[in-house]
Amino acid sequence: MSIDLTQDYFSLFEVPRAYGLDEGALEAAWHRLQSQVHPDRYAHLSDADKRRAMQWATRVNEGYRTLKKPLARAQYLLVLAGVDAGVETNTAMSPEFLMEQMEWREGVEEARTAGEIDELSNYTGGCCIIRATCEPSSHVNSMSTTTTLRQPTPCVG
């Protein structure tokens, strides 16, 4: 058995190159490939063949994990199309926007910590959101305080 380590994951699993994916077909192909490339099948061969089997199994597992998760699959499709999503380095947001976000987060955290749930309405940006009553949890560890939301009620007006 030989696997072309340069072929894309969609070709490897013999599924269409598309975001919408038949997960049952993907899983069936994964099981089929795993039965063919599992390193235990090659335990009696030379060290070089064992390493090759490990590479095959790794490639199959990486492909399966990538195609199984919708976000990873979308990012992989972008890579195949030559598009750099820049998810790790995307800092194209304006400094004003980032400062506003930081201020909101700090304000929300301060209001949550102080138990001032009404103060949180200042951070909704004028949007009507679901308001919930917060109460401190009885479980408090040294690292954080947990807040539990009770029955949410729609905001009015």
Sign of CA dihedral 127, 122, 157, 129: positive
pLDDT number for residue 118: 66
- At 123, the pLDDT band (50, 70, 90 cuts) reads low
Of 55, 80, 105, the one marking the end of a domain is 80
Pull the structure tokens for residue 101. 């976000």
Looking at residue 124, what DSSP letter applies?
S
- Over residues 9-22, the pLDDT tens digits come to 999 999 999 999 99
109 and 46 both lie in a single domain: no
User: What's the domain range around 45?
Assistant: 9-80
58 and 117 both lie in a single domain: no
